[in-house]
Amino acid sequence: MSKTQLTVVCSAVLVFTLLLQSNICSAAEWFVGDNAGWGYHVAGWEDGKSFKAGDILVFNYPLGSHTVVQVNKANYDSCTPSGTTFASGLDFITLKPGFNYFISGISPDCSNLGMKIAVNAA
């Protein structure tokens, strides 16, 4: 490989690396429920927002008052808290591509009080 070809290859690798870095740095943090936080009647908070895979949802709530359970679609629809549970009061969850489903694991928060969101990450 000539010196010129090596320079072109190295430059291409550098540009590609910088593009990957900028994509990582562009991840947004979304505070679920905005100023009210993760609480009753948060369903629909996600409507009209443009989420991307790699974005971070921040669930802020008083410790011990709620939980966040990442569930599949069936458990989301039925408000069944079977999945990964978070309960720190300040949970940071990175979105995967496609739909990401979250409910409260404390009954009857999901079924009666609207503590559930479905976020579609492009």
Tens digits of residue pLDDT in 65-95:
999 999 999 999 999 999 999 999 999 999 9
Q: What is the pLDDT of residue 9?
A: 42
Q: Which domain holds residue 114?
A: 28-121
- Residue 100 in any domain: the answer is yes
Classify residue 116: in a domain, yes or no. Answer: yes
Alpha carbon distance 32, 54 (integer Å)? 15
Q: Determine which of 7-21, 81-95, 103-117 has the lowest per-residue pLDDT on average.
A: 7-21
Q: Is residue 102 part of a domain?
A: yes
Q: Could you give the residue ranges of the DSSP H alpha helices within 26-113?
A: 73-78, 109-113
Is 116:43 a contact under the CB 8 Å cutoff?
yes
- Average pLDDT rounded to a whole number, residues 44-49: 97
Q: pTM for this structure?
A: 0.79
In a domain, 91, yes or no: yes
- The number of distinct structural domains making up the chain is 1
12 domain-assigned: no
CATH number of the CATH domain containing 36: 2.60.40.420
